[in-house]
Amino acid sequence: MTAYRQAQRPASVGTFSTHISIAAELVEQFIELPARMSGASEDQIRDLHQEARTVWENLWDQLRQARDLAVALDRDVSSYDAARTAAGDIWQNAVEVTVGPWEPTFNGKRRTVTWRSAPLGPVKRAVDALLDAVPEAEIVHHAPPDDIELRSGYKWLSSYGAIIAVVAIIGYVVYRFTR
């Protein structure tokens, strides 16, 4: 092994760790997406469906990049390749969402929304296989962002905050002058 190749190893392991860490965070994000469907409109469900597909594709892209780095480090990635094959077509099978028709109920109307996510077994096996191939790599978990713009409530407040303020002012004026 050349001195140049030895010098590349620590940087490659660090980059490998970054890809694995991002993939692990994307797995968590993918798992949490169905919970955000509660009370969502049909457009929001469509957006969540697209977000899930994008997260799934990015997850496998991060794992592919980590695999490429493991190969560059002369590591055996056959276990990863088997897990990737077991995952099937990641672009077609990420998420399937079915929105049923509105049905009358005692309290109004309801509809059934079915969310079927791709199985996570192949992903977990792929991550484990890559970590086994490069055992010196570490998964780094990052804290949630503190930026207010990235919080879900901020988007709602930025969309409806001005309207709420105007309604509150009008309500106060009406209350004050009609007493």
73 with 132: CB under 8 angstroms? Answer: no
In terms of domains, do 136 and 164 share one? no
Domains contained in the chain, number: 2
Which structure tokens are listed for 121? 């077994």
Residue 146 vs residue 113, higher pLDDT:
113
Query: pLDDT tens-digit profile of 12-69?
Result: 888 899 999 999 999 999 998 888 888 788 888 889 899 999 999 999 999 999 999 9
Write out the residue range of the structural domain in which residue 176 sits. Answer: 147-179
| Secondary structure E strands in 12-146 | 95-99, 103-105, 108-110, 113-117
**Among all chains, which residue has been given the structure tokens 């009008």?**
170
Give the confidence band of 144 by pLDDT, cuts at 50, 70, 90: low
In terms of domains, do 121 and 95 share one? yes
In terms of domains, do 71 and 154 share one? no
In terms of domains, do 24 and 89 share one? yes
Residue 10 vs residue 91, higher pLDDT:
91
In terms of domains, do 115 and 176 share one? no
Residues 6+ apart with CB under 8 A from 179: none
Query: pLDDT tens-digit profile of 148-175?
Result: 445 555 555 666 777 777 777 887 778 7
Give the confidence band of 113 by pLDDT, cuts at 50, 70, 90: confident
In terms of domains, do 122 and 167 share one? no
Burial class (CB in 10 A: 0-12, 13-18, 19+), 156: exposed
In terms of domains, do 138 and 151 share one? no
In terms of domains, do 167 and 135 share one? no
Residue 23 vs residue 88, higher pLDDT:
23
In terms of domains, do 122 and 171 share one? no
- Put simply, whether the predicted model's pTM sits higher than 0.85 gets the answer no
Alpha-carbon distance 34 to 55, whole Å? 13
Give the confidence band of 92 by pLDDT, cuts at 50, 70, 90: confident
